[in-house]
Amino acid sequence: MKKTDRGLKDKVIGKVKEVEGKVTGDKARETQGKAQQAKGNIKEKAKKLKDDLDDH
């Protein structure tokens, strides 16, 4: 997987963990999933910011 896909990877895995937590009633797992999704969002935004700065 390319470095540019890491944010997406975290978001997808996080969503799976979140849903798994909801289905099983495991609040900790659900929270882990939400945190991993946030991590993915941050990675994507950081990559976009880096790309924007490189363009200038």
Distance, in Å, from the CA atom of 53 to the CA atom of 10, rounded to the nearest integer, reads 24
Distance from C-alpha of 46 to C-alpha of 24, rounded to nearest angstrom: 33
Summarize pLDDT for 2-56 with one digit per residue, the tens: 655 779 999 999 999 999 999 999 999 999 999 999 999 999 999 999 989 988 7
* Distance between CA atoms of residues 10 and 39, nearest Å: 7
pLDDT at 45: 92
